Structure 1
Amino acid sequence: MTTDLDAIRHVIDTVEHAQNHEQPDEFLALFRPDAIWTTGGGKRLYGLDEITEFTRQVLPGGMRGMSVRFELEHVLFIRPDVAAVKLRQVYTTPDGLDVGSPLWIMAKEDGRWLLTACQNIGVPDDEDVAPGRPVFGAAS
């Protein structure tokens, strides 16, 4: 499983790189065609076409003045070819830090780990979150 874990870490690193460098194609290449993606703002996207349309609207310019890093917290191999990947997502913005808690379900297909069903959410009680939630908005 070390090889699979390394491959999953590579996907995480690629998402981080693609977001920080605003490279939609690099990001979109990581998805299955029928993937599900729920944004940190709760927008539900079904299939690569919807994910692509959304990404091409928000990623160019969306990271201006910010950066993000992903910290791998846990991987649960549901089956040898399916993994639940829990992350801590830390945005650095001019207004301070904001923290998300993505869960990515990944599937291994033809030797590649692909994003399959993913959801993001802000973490309101994280000690690093700046007042006003610069990325995820005010906590309710």
Structure 2
Amino acid sequence: MNTTTATTDALAQSADLQAIERVIATIEHSQVNELPDEFLSLFRSDAIWTTAHGKLLTGLEEIAAFTHKALPGSMANGSVRYELVDVLFIRPDVAAVKARGQYLTLDGEPTGNPTSPLYVMAKEEGRWLLTANQNTVQLPE
């Protein structure tokens, strides 16, 4: 590989990492502000989602029905924070993304165990979209 190709690849991967970080930030923003449509805009139409409580949701329609019931009012007693932990590029257009979520009281104190979501994202038409996802409650060590 020549240095021009390596530099181009590194720049593309850096831009993709920034875009993936924005997806994680949008997940947080949409949940904190109880914006189901913003949250749903992050998914492919054929996405699958397993909730932290093990409920399997298949396709955007099913994910949307659940989200429109679960998200409004969910932040009445607190908030949530997400951080990007790791990204594994399976291919240039597919990434396994590990995040950490923490629910917070209104005073910003952690409540319960953190969550440990894994998002498989696909890059389509320049956008990283949630494709196959599972949110898991992280058990204490």
List gaps (5 residues or longer) in structure 1: 127-140
SS in 2 for 1:26: helix
Long gaps (5+) in structure 2: 1-12
2:45 paired residue number: 33
| 1:97 partner amino acid | T
1:76 is aligned to: 88
Deviation at 1:93, TM superposition (A): 2.9
What TM-score, normalized by structure 1, do the two folds share?
Answer: 0.86
Query: Which stretch shows the higher mean deviation, 5-14 or 61-70?
Result: 61-70
Residue aligning to 1:97: 111
Larger Rg: 2
Could you list the per-position Cα deviations for residues 61-83 of structure 1 after superposition, in whole angstroms to 9, with x for gaps in the alignment? 01211111111110000000000
Higher helix share: 2
TM-score between both structures, scaled by the size of structure 2: 0.86
1:106: which partner in 2?
121
Please give the alpha-carbon distance, in whole angstroms, between the structure 2 residues aligned to 1:36 and 1:117. 5
The alignment-based identity, stated in percent, is 59
Q: Which amino acid aligns with 1:16?
A: E
Tell me whether 1:12 sits opposite 2:24 in the alignment: yes
Verify: 1:85 aligned to 2:118, yes or no. Answer: no
Match of 2:9 in 1: none
1:96 Cα deviation from its structure 2 partner: 4.5
Mapped to 2, the partners of 1:76 and 1:103 lie a distance apart of 11
Structure 2 residue matching 1:18: 3-state secondary structure: helix
Partner of 2:131: 116
State whether residues 48 and 56 of structure 2, in contact with CA within 8 Å, keep that contact through their aligned partners in structure 1.
yes
